[in-house]
Structure 1
Amino acid sequence: MREPSLPCGAGLGFRRELLPELTRGVPGPIEFFEIAPENWAGQGGRAARQLREFTERHPFVCHGLSLSLGGPGALDEALLRRIRTFMDEHGIALYTEHLAWCADDRQLYELLPIPLTGDAVRWTAARIRRAQDLLGRRIGIENASYYVEPPGAEMGEAEFIAAVVAEADCLLHLDVNNLYVNSRNFGFDPFEFLHALPLERTCYVHVAGHYVEADGLLVDTHGAAVIDPVWALLAAAYRAIGSAPPTCLERDFNQPGLAQLGAEVGHIARLQAAAERRAA
């Protein structure tokens, strides 16, 4: 087992289709990689060897896809134990997951919003605390994109996120593209929302591109370049946090090639450097 190492700087999602280019050389701006442990834990053979070659040389972050922290079904403790073993084997210190639900008695393969109620705060926070116990570390929870507002809200979303973070004593994983997408789809000010979050708990940040439907609906696809308003929101987040936490570019589809991805990661790094100069 490797000693866990926390990432810093700007990073990129680790995708199998990028492996041929990454093997020839990692662009300079990329300081760490993000990986979905469900897709890699327990694998053997060539894929496992390739991953080991990278985790020996670069910091990694685990970002979960299927834990369903706010869901009605039993928490998948077997998955959490596999993830802990995987993280220990590869020296990965940070794990984050979505503040959403995606399963009842089976996986639904969709991230769904949690009702914004006091009962949901207590239910979700208890599951996060149990997940942290099983993983042996505090985790970051990510503000998720959504396309329908759950009924029966007793509070706003930012208030709900802050309440869960406080009740669970966990960390915040800030996704600025999700925040922007939701603000456009539901008509609220993303900067006001940003400042209502418990930013002092921020451990990790995502930035990504999205797709605009013909009717104007924004869809969080991670399949396009980051647009200027999202870059502006990222810069505002760094100012509000007072530092530049590790930040990952998400690009899951329509891969443009490593050179272009490296350029976008480089833009993250420049915004981080500017934030650190202001904080000095």
Structure 2
Amino acid sequence: MNDHFLGFGLGLRTQHFNDVLETRPDVDWFEIISENFMVAGGKPKYYLHAIREQYPMVMHGVSLSIGSTDPLDTDYLQRLKRLATEVQPRWISDHLCWTGLDGINSHDLLPMPYTEEAVNHVAGRIIQVQDTLGRQLLLENVSSYISYTESAMSEWEFYNAVVERADCLMLLDINNIYVSSRNHNVDPQAYLNAINPERVRQLHLAGHSDYGTHVIDTHDHDICEPVWDLYRQALLRFGAVSTMIERDDNIPPLNQLVAELQIARDIAAGILPLQHSCKPAPGLEVR
């Protein structure tokens, strides 16, 4: 049994705060966007702590910009650490990307060039972040729409090399693998087969917008069948891994997301031993 397996979760969104507290949905855990709660007080913090009393949480950031050449933002890291002290998350994650340059935030998750120089650069910064936070960091693969002529390895080779060099962990986004594979005409199964299972701590599922010639990671649709198929392959490859659904736009009522999460449970139940697909980590209440 995977000691870190939390079960099946959702991204916690403002629209669902009241419903979560009033209905206690059949969700094993929630993922919060770290930046949304880096405030001293107010309603977001009230709901955060009220829901945290009922459900385990993990923290997911979008502003670390671990791949940038700008210095690490020490103020941001200290605020992140303070939030982690409040929330006591099972883990903290961000993205293997850069988000800005010269102090300007693009508000996009921009891919890295896949080079040995970039591996060394990013790994060194991850080690600094982990030393500051006092814990391992999970890094997520991003959707990409461009490639660099300087790249000397595949995305999965780069991803594996970074987490090994930095001794961190992976948040593997299944939808992002599908999106990037479509955009760059690569085999998503080859991506999954190359990833080190010992480093995978969490899986993301989400919807996207398919324009035929390209695919955009929009998180505003239901999960499509090709992504569900890739999720099946991921379970066969990695076993029981904590899985959650992200929805950031065109957000449906909570009960619809819980119903979609049940699809993930049912898929896992058909592939994994019963105890892996249905039981969260020890000490967590099954709702």
Taking structure 2 as the reference length, what is the TM-score of the superposition? 0.91
Q: 1:274 to 1:81 in 2, by over 3 A?
A: farther
Aligned residues: 273
Q: Equivalent residue for 1:201?
A: 199
Q: Equivalent residue for 2:171?
A: 173
Q: 1:7 to 1:83 in 2, by over 3 A?
A: farther
Secondary structure of 2:149 counterpart: coil
Secondary structure of 2:205 counterpart: strand
| Alpha-carbon shift at residue 48 of structure 1 (Å) | 1.3
* Greater mean alpha carbon deviation, residues 14-23 or residues 204-213: 14-23
Q: Which amino acid aligns with 1:259?
A: N
Q: Equivalent residue for 2:51?
A: 54
Aligned ranges 1:111-190 → 2 under 5 Å: 111-190=109-188
| Alpha-carbon shift at residue 259 of structure 1 (Å) | 1.4
Q: Which amino acid aligns with 1:70?
A: G
Q: 1:270 aligns with which of 266, 270, 284?
A: 266
Question: Where has structure 1 moved over 6 Å in runs of 4 or more?
Answer: none
* Greater mean alpha carbon deviation, residues 201-210 or residues 258-267: 258-267
| Alpha-carbon shift at residue 101 of structure 1 (Å) | 0.4
Distance 1:46 1:174 in 2: 31
Distance 1:119 1:13 in 2: 34
* Aligned sequence identity (%): 37
Distance 2:28 2:206 in 1: 17
Taking structure 1 as the reference length, what is the TM-score of the superposition? 0.93
Q: Equivalent residue for 1:31?
A: 28
Measured against aligned partners, the alpha-carbon deviations of 1:163-209 in whole angstroms (never above 9, x if no partner) come to: 10111011011000000011111111101111111222101110000
* Runs of at least 5 residues in structure 1 that lack an aligned partner in the other structure: none
Q: Equivalent residue for 1:222?
A: 219
* Runs of at least 5 residues in structure 2 that lack an aligned partner in the other structure: 277-287
Distance 1:192 1:239 in 2: 14
| Alpha-carbon shift at residue 49 of structure 1 (Å) | 1.2
Q: Equivalent residue for 1:93?
A: 90
| Alpha-carbon shift at residue 25 of structure 1 (Å) | 0.9
Q: Equivalent residue for 1:257?
A: 253
Q: 1:248 aligns with which of 223, 244, 249?
A: 244
Distance 1:7 1:244 in 2: 7
| CA-based RMSD | 1.7
Distance 2:152 2:180 in 1: 19
